[in-house]
Amino acid sequence: MSTTAAAVAQVLAEAGIGRVFGLPGGEVLVLIDELRKVGVDFVLMRHEANAGIAAAVYGKLKRQPGVVIATLGPGAANLMLPIASAYLDQEPLLAITAQLPDELPASHTHQLLPLHDCYRPVCRMVDKITQSDAHDIVGRALAACMTRPYGASYLTLSAREAVKPLAPPGSKGPAGDTTATFASPATRAADLRSRFASAERPLVLVGLGMDSQNAAALRRWITDWNLPVAVTPKVKGIVDETAPNFLGVISGMAADGLMVDALKSADLLIGFGLDPVEIDKTWHAELDIQWALEAPNATGLSPANSPLVNHRMLLDALVESPAPRSWATPFASFQQQRADLLKGTSGAPDTMWPGDLIRALADAVPAETIVTTDVGSHKYLFGQFWPSRHPDTFWMSNGLSGMAYGLSAAIGAKLAHPDRTVLAAVGDGGFSMNAQELETAERIGAPFITVVLEDQSYSLIKLAQENRKLEPYRMDFGPIDNVKMAEACGVKGIRTLNADELASAVRDAVKRKTSLVAAIPIHYADYRKLF
Ligand SMILES: Cc1ncc(C[n+]2csc(CCOP(=O)(O)OP(=O)(O)O)c2C)c(N)n1
């Protein structure tokens, strides 16, 4: 006799989901067991938020929904961070948690939270799985999170419902609505071409809404036309950031003042998949941007009078004929100033200059390395200056900008691409939120390199406090020995101030395919020179 939980497991297995992430409670044990029976692996983690983030990154890299499972009440509540992150950062995530059975008396409120109400505003679909609709509900939830813009679906399954025999399936009809209007790619291409013909300083902006599957077509167009291009952090690597026509990373990273000046000096801005969810300033509303979006933005909104357009077809139409004119190097001075920023030296003894750190790491790892960052000053550093060369090789929380992303994202990325080197760059604040997941990574055979930028402070917020001329107050914390922390989790740890020593330890870990934690003392005020 098939049960509701067995049906859920079957739908997930048939959808090609080979692995789910989570942290259990008694109420989801039956579901986890049914998943085991159909060969879906359960990746046991140490916090639901970490599991959800790992699942979403794993899913996006695999081009399928990531799936996270948690218990009711506290476990479900811990999922707000990854669900919010999936919502704002367009990552496909199906979260399934337990909930109290409907049959219980209304006075039974232990661990009872209004979970559907909590998650409805940030999910594509929220529903309850029952014995009569398990196939349909799970199928629609999977489809909903893969509908562009990608996002989260949230389902509850009570422990009592999980073991009920499956009833005949019902259907509630299709999930998504497809009311968006589409522009003809040929007409849009002709319009853009005429704008390029009269532009002296055009700049192509690429953002979160551009699918990495279009990277080759995008690269062909900007190379053929020799166009200057800038990207947001979430699509780093969609173009080669070491190429001469690359301006830099826009949207609140290091050197942002310089990037905004460059944007303001352009006379034509084309926003391919540019989603304001990534932008912490308001230039997206003030500058005249030609939007080229193929799906609504993360929160479902699109700019007025901008019908959607298929990116691939638009790029093909643009590249069909040569550039309508030539542009020399209109942003050369901005490019030079950006490069010069990295050439500083540290302002304090016994710390490494952040530029030296970037150079040492970039020399030591293969170009296809997947880099993840946490949130803080180090994210601004890596977001702007890490030289991404390949699509889908850079992961950060930017729409939500939630700390504790980097390490969990590295686990998801390594499981999705076991053959690749994965490098997580995290602050010492963020690392102390989830360093214990290093043990998870060791246990499940997902080794990666972690670089902890140690400045004993929430430096991004400390700098903000200074900027606002507030009293220095409560932004510093004491040191944790992150080398010992790594060793406590079974991972080799080193601390060094020497860039060559760092590079050699990293090369060794790459060669041996082992985990490594490299703790690097940084002077928090050095970041100021880069911002
Ligand atoms: C979950 C969460 N809590 C708080 C913040 C606010 N916040 C942003 S950056 C930051 C400091 C991060 O410190 P650390 O991890 O040490 O990185 P650093 O800034 O020093 O590079 C804080 C507290 C946040 N973005 N996310």
pLDDT in tens, 253-275: 999 999 999 999 999 999 999 99
- Alpha carbon distance 426, 390 (integer Å): 21
Q: Is residue 292 within 8 Å of residue 311, measured between CB atoms? A: yes
3-class secondary structure per residue, 285-343: HHCCEEEECCCCCCCCCCCCCCCECCHHHHHHHHHCCCCCCCCCCCCHHHHHHHHHHCC
pLDDT average, residue stretch 83-101? 97
| Nearest CA, atom 10, ligand 1 | 376
Asked if 334 and 261 count as a contact pair (C-beta separation under 8 A), the reply is yes
Query: Cis omega before residue 149 (within 30°)?
Result: yes
Is 467 a residue whose pLDDT tops 60? yes
Would you state the pLDDT for residue 178? 44
177 pLDDT above the threshold of 60: no
374 Cα to the center of ligand 1, angstroms: 8
pLDDT-based confidence at 106, cuts 50/70/90? confident
Pairwise CA distance, residues 459 & 452, whole Å:
13
Mean pLDDT, residues 285-311 taken together: 91
Q: Which two tokens stand for residue 409?
A: 């994202």
Residue minimizing CA distance to atom 16 of ligand 1: 429
User: Residue 34 is encoded by which pair of tokens?
Assistant: 């049914």
Which helix (H) or strand (E) segment holds residue 186: the answer is helix 185-197
Mutate to test the pocket of ligand 1, among 79, 456, 460 (most ligand atoms within 8 A of CB): 460
Q: What is the mean pLDDT of residues 168-192?
A: 71
Closest ligand 1 atom to residue 376 Cα is 19
Task: Write out pLDDT tens, residues 10-44.
Answer: 999 999 999 999 999 999 999 999 999 999 999 99
Locate the ligand 1 atom nearest the alpha carbon of residue 374 and give its number: 15
Pocket test for ligand 1, best of 455, 458, 522, 528 (most atoms within 8 A of CB): 458
Mutate which of 352, 375, 433 for ligand 1? The one with the most ligand atoms within 8 Å of its CB, which is: 375
Confidence band, pLDDT 50/70/90 cuts, at residue 79: very high
Say what the pLDDT of residue 107 is: 81
Atom of ligand 1 nearest to the CA of 402: 26
Q: Got the DSSP string for 353-421?
A: -HHHHHHHHHHHS-TT-EEEE-SSHHHHHHHHHS---STT-EE---SS--SS-HHHHHHHHHHH-TTS-
pLDDT of residue 418: 98
In this structure, of 89-103, 120-134, 135-149, 176-190, the range with the lowest mean pLDDT score is 176-190
Residues 6+ apart with CB under 8 A from 41: 18, 19, 20
* Residue minimizing CA distance to atom 11 of ligand 1: 458
Angle at 39 between CA 38 and CA 42, to 5 degrees: 115
pLDDT at 313: 97
* Residue 470 φ then ψ, to 5°: -90, 160
- CA nearest ligand 1 atom 9, residue: 376
Query: How high is the pLDDT of residue 104?
Result: 87
Q: Is it the case that residue 307 has pLDDT exceeding 60?
A: yes
Read off the pLDDT band of 171 (50, 70, 90).
very low
Ligand 1: residues whose CB is within 6 Å?
Answer: 374-378, 401-403, 427-430, 453, 455, 457-461
Ligand 1 pocket test, pick from 48, 385, 403 with the greatest ligand atom count within 8 Å of Cβ, gives 403
Residue 429 in this model has a pLDDT that exceeds 60: yes
Which candidate, 434, 443, 445, places its Cα nearest to that of 405? 434
Ligand 1, atom 13, residue with closest C-alpha: 458
Q: What is the mean pLDDT of residues 73-93?
A: 97
pLDDT at position 170? 53
State percent of the chain over pLDDT 70. 98
Q: How confident is the model at residue 176 (pLDDT cuts 50, 70, 90)?
A: very low
pTM higher than 0.75 for the full model? Answer: yes
Side chain identity, residue 233: P
CA dihedral 452, 453, 459, 463 (to 10 degrees): -150
pLDDT-based confidence at 7, cuts 50/70/90? very high
Taking residues 423-452, what's their average pLDDT?
Answer: 98
Q: Is 187 helix (H, G, I), strand (E, B) or coil?
A: helix
The Å distance, Cα 143 to ligand 1 centre, comes to 33
Q: Is the pLDDT of residue 131 over 90?
A: yes
User: pLDDT at residue 180 above 70?
Assistant: no
Mean pLDDT along residues 362-375 = 98
DSSP 120: G
Residue nearest to atom 20 of ligand 1 (CA): 459
Q: What is the mean pLDDT of the chain?
A: 95
- Residue 213 Cα to ligand 1 midpoint, Å, equals 32
Contact 192, 318 (CB under 8 A): yes
**Any alpha helices (H) in 43-158, and if so which ranges?**
48-62, 74-77, 80-88, 115-119, 134-146
